[in-house]
Amino acid sequence: MIFPLGTMIAFQPARTAGSALLPRFSIRRARDERAILFAKRLVLALTAAFLLVACSPPPVTVRPPLYTAGAAAAPDQITFLLPGALTTAGIFGEANAWNSDSHLVIEYRLPGMRGEPLDPPLDILRAAGWIAAYANRFPKAQINLLGYSTGAAIAIEAAGRIDHSERVKVVAISTATPFPGAALAFARGGIGVAGSAIAAGTLDAQTVWDEYFITLYLGSGWRNSSEKRALAEEIRRSFEGQINKPGEGRGRSQSASLLLWTLSTEALASDAAITLFHGENDPVFPLSEVRPLAARLGATLCVLPEDGHMTLLSRADLIDRVARVFSENEESAPCG
């Protein structure tokens, strides 16, 4: 994910009758004005973050945040798990258990997650370089790069930096898109968060983010469907107390590098096999912006109908499909 994320949520005025109309309308208008002020402040903060990225200091030496629970000394396959903003490798579910005598799973941790410091912030090309350097220690292994959202951008960049990139397979889920993709996502996010504040009737950060999570999960326009509104209630119950909201500098540290990201020469020259899984209704990086990226990369694009941005949560079978894409079985379908 990128912070902030989203799209506008359809707003339905409160039902009123008789003398109750004016007071309720006044309360609603005041609440809307607070939400608009909230959005304006958010835009100012994003502008400041953009300027900070443009004027960022030179890279610093830091230990690569790569971890494994595996023990394979000479693996035939190495899978790198590259999460998105505000998430950990846990988002990839069963893929974390792919370790074996011949398969090594490597977890990448973003700044501020699982004990990692916030400083230095994520630098996409530096992260890609770390992953490539690790992969190049095993020149005979098949390299699998599994990235989600921001992590997908890292995967795409790492692929072109790995020696003999024809041995590399990339699966990019709900991928970020190059400039101006992230900048547009920030703008949509500001509107989406403001819409969530209006819908929730509060400016409490956690409550607003919990509400916005529904849009990330179900995609744009979910409030227009009675079926999805019912599903939203199930999602609220299932994920109560589990949703990470931006704060303590995590959003900026994990996402600012995306603002100016463009596809590098190395990424465009890669011989890696790339597969993109993307939700049809992704409110963060719309499918219309992902199609041109797939074309530039020569990638297979697998569209997930009706899904939003949180496809690893909304599609129970997605990791199984990813595993089939990574398999060496030539008979596997292009989208698993």
Domains of the chain: 30-56+181-252 (no CATH), 66-179+263-326 (3.40.50.1820)
Q: What is the pLDDT of residue 185?
A: 93
Q: Give the other-Cβ count within 10 Å of 206's Cβ.
A: 13
Judged against a pLDDT cut of 60, whether residue 247 lies above it is answered with yes
Residue 273 main-chain phi, psi, to 5 deg: -85, 120
Name the percent of the chain lying above pLDDT 70: 81
Structural contact between residues 267 and 147, judged by C-beta atoms closer than 8 angstroms: no
Region 171-192 average pLDDT = 94
Q: What is the pLDDT of residue 48?
A: 52
Give residue 221's pLDDT band: very low, low, confident or very high (50, 70, 90).
confident
- How far apart are alpha carbons 259 and 184 in whole angstroms? 9
Judged against a pLDDT cut of 90, whether residue 126 lies above it is answered with yes
pTM comes to 0.80
Q: What is the pLDDT of residue 20?
A: 37
Mean pLDDT, all residues of the chain: 85
Judged against a pLDDT cut of 90, whether residue 93 lies above it is answered with yes
Judged against a pLDDT cut of 60, whether residue 326 lies above it is answered with yes
Residue 108 main-chain phi, psi, to 5 deg: -100, 130
User: Tokens for 276?
Assistant: 């993109």
Q: What is the pLDDT of residue 6?
A: 33
Q: What is the pLDDT of residue 78?
A: 98
Contacts of 211 (CB under 8 A, 6+ apart): 196, 197, 199, 200
Structural contact between residues 301 and 276, judged by C-beta atoms closer than 8 angstroms: yes
Q: What is the pLDDT of residue 105?
A: 98
Give residue 39's pLDDT band: very low, low, confident or very high (50, 70, 90).
low
Give which of 124, 130, 118, 115 is closest to 63, Cα–Cα: 130
Which of 13-17, 173-177, 203-207, 330-334 has the weakest average pLDDT?
13-17
Q: What is the pLDDT of residue 243?
A: 87
Bridge partners (DSSP) of residue 106 are 80
